[in-house]
Amino acid sequence: MNVIALSPLDLAVAALLIVALGGLSLRMHIGVERQLLVSAARSTLQLFLIGLVLKVLFESAQPVWMALLATVMLLVAGREVMVRQKRRFVGCWGFGVGTLSMFVSAFAVTVMALLLVIGADPWYAPQYAIPLLGMVLGNTMNGISPGLDRLTPDATQRRQIIESRLALGHDWQRAI
């Protein structure tokens, strides 16, 4: 595997850009210098930790570890879908509906792309599977969130109609 390492010059340029942004903020009296410093330190720490996790995953390339990472990615995306809702489903439905929808669509597309388009060997190779799953989950999340966010206010506005249909004996799928 080819590893592209950052040179000290690359790191110095990145640090210089952050310092320049802080100086610009001071000069223009914006007042974001402290937040800039905290954000830069946090980003550095996050990237370092993610780099360690990815290094272990790339070296081992075991399906169990890939499944664990994919599950974590799915759960985080499911939480994000739930948080984006103005009116959420009650109980486990709030988390489950979006997460299940993303699981079915994102994982089907990712596995098909890995097997049929990319042809990675093994098909779960982390250097292909992780970024592809991340992109597909992100796009799926951005499609499911507005759909669910639109469903719940519509159901709330049409509550009397839905309850009338249920009282007339319709099943819940037809009533909604």
pLDDT tens-digit profile, the chain (176 residues): 566 777 889 888 988 888 888 888 888 888 888 888 888 889 889 988 988 888 888 888 888 988 998 999 999 999 888 888 887 777 777 788 889 988 999 999 999 999 999 888 888 888 888 889 999 999 999 988 888 888 778 888 888 999 999 999 988 888 88
pLDDT for 76 equals: 92
Query: Going by C-beta distance under 8 Å and a sequence separation of 6 or more, which residues neighbour residue 34?
Result: none
CA dihedral 158, 164, 166, 170 (to 10 degrees): -100
DSSP 27-47: HTT---HHHHHHHHHHHHHHH
User: What are the tokens at 174?
Assistant: 């037809």
Distance CA 141, CA 29 (A): 38
Nearest to 110 by CA among 145, 147, 77, 149: 77
DSSP 131: H
- pLDDT of 113 reads 92
Tokens 């890939």 belong to residue: 66
Three-state helix/strand/coil letters over 64-122:
HHHHHHHHHHHHHHHHHHHHCCCCCCCCCHHHHHHHHHHHHHHHHHHHHHHHHHHCCCC
